[in-house]
Amino acid sequence: MMATNVVKEGGRTKASLDLLYHISRELASALELRTVLERVIKLSLENVSGSSGSIIVLDDKENPVDSIIVVGDKVIEETTEQLRFTLDQGLAGWVRKNRQAVRVPDTDQDKRWQRGEDGKAEPKSVVCAPLMVRNQLVGVMTLTHPEVGFFTEDHLNLVQTISDQAAFAVLNARLYAETQRRAAIMTAIADSARAIGVSLQLDEVLNTILQQTTKALDVEVVSLALVEPGGKDLVFRAATGKNSKQVTGLRIGLGRGIAGWVAQEGQGTIVQDAQKDPRFLSDVDRVTGYQIRAMACAPILTQKKVIGVIEALNPIAGAFDRSDLSVLEGIGNLAGMAIEHAQLFEQMEGARRRYLDLFEDSIDPILITDLEGNIIEANRQAELLIGFDKKTLQQMNVHAVHKADYKALGKDMSRLKEGASVSYESVLQGKGSDQVNIDVYVHKISVEGADQLQWILRDITERTKLDNLREDLASMIYHDLRSPLANIVSGLDVLEMMLPKDNDPTIRSVLDIAMRSTERVQRLANSLLDTSRLEAGQQIGSPEPTQVIDLVQMALDAVAPAAQGRGVKLEAAVPKGMPRIMADAEMMRRVFINLMENAIKYSMEGMTVIVGAKRTQDYVEMWVQDEGRGIPKADQKRIFEKFARVQVGATGSTKGLGLGLAYCKLAVEGHGGKLWVESEVGKGSRFAFTIPIARTGRLQ
Ligand code: ADP
């Protein structure tokens, strides 16, 4: 053979050059790692007449990633594990450490040679050389011959030369293989990503993940477990294979079994023989009914948190390789995102369904519109109330179904758009001809990120009817009370006249009390009747030019006994020349009496109540001023409402109905005037009101 001849002839340079040329030509065309390794060994064996050879390929960290053994013409695959220990302790290890070629004439005499290290045959003569690219060790090549001392120094040099030349090719092929492997992983993950991202339905997402994993790893069974909300257990949620039903629902504690280990550690693992792994739980085998051999398991992660694990079992090829775990981990990451999205979507759907149920089942009619009032949704009650079906309503604007209160809503519903809640009473303009009174309550809501308006239209026809009925009934009662009361008053008058001159003073005082009380009841009945009339918007009965001083005098006469009883002084400060006012004298008298009775009631013994009047432009302002307990600022508006009463201190008086001031306000405003209070707690109050001057009025 060529090389042997060359050595024998001593034409070393030319022969070496020839060899190098030959090697580089042989290797240049090969990129696939296995092919390159096989060619390198075969070329070397040819040149040194060896009988068997091996190469261990190392990665950047000098860990074995691939290897090949060639015996004669035969290539033996799957040898990396087998060669790993020679790299740890054997001759190859020595070469890796010392980075130089070595020749062993008789393996029986050299401790560095591990027995059985190089396959079946028992080598005698061995050469071993590092494959170096610059300073990087790419692999170790070992050649053997059964004859003791067969390899010479020349052989060793030759092997070193071939190794130097081949190292580049091996490195290239290794990098190429890595690129290929990465590309395959990326393609598998990208394929899965495409498929997994399609659905948002959780069950569908889980199934797609299983299918993609089966396809990418070519395995018999895939199963998927999720961490329970409490974070203590893993529960299998989906599985492929004939016994998938038994697997789903299976629960294992975190940290138990291989899946539990992966979930706890947050890192994937490959187990080539599950039955031998101490972490393996054989009870899972029993449930599933098939025997698990090899197993790859990766965590399912979202935002670095483990939410589950994915398991691939029993690869069709028999064993998993390194890239399978990368693919599974990639799928685990994708699955995390997809599952999280699907779960969020499910929650959102749930909330949406609940809202829809509430919306549909609400006893109130509800309309949802856009910001312009165009109806988007209507519930059953709204259909019933308005009389149109949902489809028809969806063609309409909310302004077409009721009289909108533009003042409350703001221009172009600006108040609603600003986020205010608005409510008002209105009348429905539905399909039916009957008038339907409604309470409208409307505010802005956000539906799936879009601003909309929610209108609640409550039918208050019944309530309005009842209110009216009640008011009518009250007016009737107040009205009908008047004539019997008038009879009592005149009866008492007659009795008074019939009283003998030398009467018993007790009879006189009993009669006085009866007369005053009756007058009070009469005033109350009249005020109540006036109140309900004024509230209904009726005009003042009979306004005519009236002297203020007369009104004041009448009121003073009426309240004098009460003032006397409480030891309160009364003073009138009405200047002469006061113009007459345009008023219903009886109503005005009652206004004065109410204000004065209050002033007396809330004064202490010895205090003074002053009644005054003055002209202000076209009005006469009149007032009742006391030095009593006063009214807190916060209550000064409220006291004019019907039934409003203010409690001052724990022992504050709570007598009365809270109707007096409401009546006074209505009566004054009915006359075109104003009523207000100025007051300070502890210092007293001044109730004042204005009434227009009678146009035909002349000076007093
Ligand atoms: P009533 O006197 O029947 O309670 P009013 O409408 O006349 O009803 O008065 C409402 C409330 O206003 C009273 O309960 C009282 O708390 C307060 N108030 C009215 N007048 C005075 C006053 N002169 N001084 C202090 N508090 C007053």
Hey, what amino acid is at 512? D
Residue 624 Cα: closest atom of ligand 1: 23
User: Does 4 have pLDDT greater than 60?
Assistant: no
Q: How far is the CA of 546 from the centre of ligand 1 (A)?
A: 27
What is the DSSP-derived secondary structure letter of residue 634? G
The percentage of the chain sitting over the pLDDT mark of 70, rounded to a whole number, equals 92
Contacts of 192 (CB under 8 A, 6+ apart): 209, 212, 213, 216, 330, 331, 334
What average pLDDT does this structure show over 453-470? 88
* Ligand 1 pocket mutation pick from 568, 639, 677, 689 by most atoms within 8 angstroms of CB: 639
> Tens digits of per-residue pLDDT, 673-699?
999 999 999 999 999 999 999 986 444
Backbone angles phi, psi at 537, to 5 degrees: 85, 15
Torsional class of 448: left (φ above 0), alpha (ψ -120 to 50), beta (otherwise)? left
Backbone angles phi, psi at 652, to 5 degrees: -55, 145
The angle that helices 153-196 and 12-28 make with each other, rounded to 10 degrees, is 10
Highest mean pLDDT among 38-42, 165-169, 325-329, 622-626: 622-626
- From the CA of 469, how far away is ligand 1's center (Å)? 29
Q: How confident is the model at residue 287 (pLDDT cuts 50, 70, 90)?
A: low
Most ligand 1 atoms within 8 A of CB, residue of 531, 566, 601, 661 to mutate? 661
Torsion over CA of 466, 467, 472 and 477, rounded to 10 degrees? 100
- CA 617–ligand 1 middle distance (angstroms): 29
pLDDT value of residue 5: 44
User: Is 627 near ligand 1, meaning CB less than 6 Å away?
Assistant: no
Q: Is the CB of 552 under 6 A from ligand 1?
A: no
- pLDDT score, position 559: 92
529 C-alpha to center of ligand 1: Å?
20
Q: What is the mean pLDDT of residues 196-217?
A: 84
Query: How sure is the predictor about 555, in pLDDT bands with cuts at 50, 70 and 90?
Result: very high
Q: Of ligand 1's atoms, which has the minimum distance to the CA of residue 684?
A: 24
Helix/strand/coil (H/E/C) assignment for every residue in 349-376:
HHHHHHHHHHHHHCCCCEEEECCCCEEE
Ligand 1 centroid to residue 598 C-alpha, Å:
6
Six-digit token pair at 58?
Answer: 């190392």
User: What is the overall mean pLDDT for the chain?
Assistant: 86
> Quick one: CA dihedral 379, 382, 388, 393, positive or negative?
negative
Task: Establish whether residue 628 lines the binding site of ligand 1, counting it when its CB lies within 6 angstroms of any ligand atom.
Answer: yes
Distance 573 CA to ligand 1 centre (A): 23
546 vs 241 pLDDT, higher one:
546
**pLDDT computed for residue 319 by the predictor:** 86
Greatest mean pLDDT among 357-361, 363-367, 508-512 lies in 363-367
The mean pLDDT of 604-622, rounded to a whole number, is: 94
Q: Residue 286 to residues 172, 223, 281, 291, 407: CA-CA distances in angstroms?
A: 48, 15, 10, 8, 75
Please tell me the residue having the least CA distance from ligand 1 atom 21.
598
pLDDT of residue 303: 85
Higher pLDDT, 449 or 672: 672
| Best mutation site among 523, 646, 668, 675 for ligand 1 pocket (most ligand atoms within 8 Å of CB) | 646
Ligand 1 center to 542 CA (angstroms):
28
How remote is the CA of residue 660 from the centroid of ligand 1, in Å? 8
Of the two residues 488 and 79, the one the predictor is more confident about is: 488
Q: Is the pLDDT of residue 114 over 80?
A: no
Q: Which of 6-20, 37-51, 365-379, 683-697 has the lowest mean pLDDT?
A: 6-20
Question: What's this model's pTM, rounded to 2 decimal places?
Answer: 0.49
Q: Is the CB of 598 under 6 A from ligand 1?
A: yes
- Residue 538 or residue 261, greater confidence: 261
Closest to 334 (Cα-Cα) out of 383, 299, 285: 299
Closest CA to 571 of 583, 580, 559, 582: 559
Distance 544 CA to ligand 1 centre (A): 29
Find, among 608, 603, 610, 619, the residue nearest to 671 by Cα.
619
Average pLDDT over residues 186-193: 80
For the chain, helix (H) and strand (E) counts, in that order, are: 21, 24
pLDDT score for 699: 47
Task: Give the tens place of pLDDT for each residue, 129-168.
Answer: 999 998 899 999 999 999 999 999 989 998 998 898 889 8
Confidence of residue 195 (pLDDT cuts 50, 70, 90): confident
Which of 97-111, 474-488, 680-694 has the weakest average pLDDT? 474-488
Q: How far is ligand 1, taken at its centre, from the CA of residue 594, in Å?
A: 9
285-294, 386-395, 574-583: least confidently modelled range: 285-294
Residue 222 is predicted with a pLDDT of 92
Indicate whether residue 625 lines ligand 1 (CB < 6 A): no
Q: Taking 80 as the threshold, does the pLDDT of residue 353 lie above it?
A: yes
pLDDT tens by residue, 246-275 = 888 888 888 888 899 999 999 999 998 888
Higher pLDDT, 178 or 17: 178
* Index of the ligand 1 atom closest to the CA of residue 652: 16
| Residue 655 confidence (pLDDT) | 58
Answer whether 658 contacts ligand 1 (Cβ < 6 A).
yes
* CA 592 to ligand 1 center in whole angstroms: 14
Q: What is the mean pLDDT of residues 646-656?
A: 53
Task: Please tell me if the CB atom of residue 629 comes closer than 6 angstroms to any atom of ligand 1.
Answer: yes
SS3 122: coil
In this prediction, residue 43 carries a pLDDT of 87
Q: Give the pLDDT score at 8.
A: 47
